[in-house]
Amino acid sequence: MADKQKQPGETRAADVLHRMRLDIINCELQPGEKLRFEALRARYTVSFSTLREALSRLAAESLVVAEGQRGFMVAPVSIEDLNDLTDTRVLIENEMLRRSMRYGDDDWEANILASFHRMDKMQKRLGREYYLSEEWAAVHSAFHASLVSECRSPTLIELRDKLFERAQRYRRMSSQFRKKWRKKDVEHKMIVDAALARDEDLALRLIERHIRETSENVIAHAQHLFPQETPHAFSANPQAAE
């Protein structure tokens, strides 16, 4: 039986949801910004019902906050939220990578290598400011997803994808102000080698350091965008976060 074709309204709603999600992640819609329906309707050229559906979906992803009868706002950012998000990502990514290394087969390995190759080639083609590219962000996301794709848990995959998108908003804030990017290609290659060698201890240590160093860089380069908080709200040390 042929796949059911999406109706025009469904396609339009999915497109608006995708555009709004990107605008929030890329900080085109600023953290804490009030989302007024008239302005959104003009921006995305859609009906109120489509907007409300998209906003409800984004609220479920913690990218938007519902304010009761007052409408919606872009979810605020904070060092406390980033710290909590980072700790949760480490827990989930480590468990998913552990499972994937145990269950992964030749196809899993080939997918990781292909994803890494695409990302590496694009990074070299784009040059020093590759991290500002939406195209590179997509292949970077696909690479990290490939590492944990054999965890055999659709629920973990769904949770992990939502957390990764939330973290992308913080990464994007950092990229707007930093002068250079760290050697992530080297970090990625080390993670690939450890995962394919099924070196569990090393692979988990590397992926945790990778996630935490990214969060540290957000604080270093974009701290002025956060509300004033006490310095100890962010814990870059895995031991301190336990």
Domain ranges of the chain: 8-74, 79-237
How far is residue 207's CA from residue 145's CA, in Å, rounded to a whole number? 12
CATH class of 8-74: mainly alpha
Q: pLDDT value at position 2?
A: 41
CA-nearest of 236, 225, 124, 222 to 175 is 222
Task: With beta carbons less than 8 A apart as the criterion, state whether 191 and 87 touch.
Answer: no
User: Is there a shared CATH topology between the 8-74 domain and the 79-237 domain?
Assistant: no
- Could you tell me the pTM of the whole model? 0.78
d(CA 144, CA 88): 16
Token pair, residue 133, equals 């590219």
| Residue 236 binned pLDDT confidence (cut-offs 50, 70, 90) | very low
| 207 CB-near residues (< 8 Å, 6+ apart) | 90, 93, 94, 97, 147, 191
Q: What is the per-residue pLDDT for 123? A: 86
Q: Helix, strand or coil for residue 34?
A: strand
Over the stretch 199-209, which tens digit does the pLDDT of each residue have?
999 999 999 99
Instruction: Return the CATH number of 79-237, one of 1.10.530.10, 1.20.120.530, 3.40.50.300, 3.30.200.20.
Output: 1.20.120.530
CB-based contacts of 113: which residues, under 8 Å, 6+ apart?
192, 196
d(CA 66, CA 72): 5
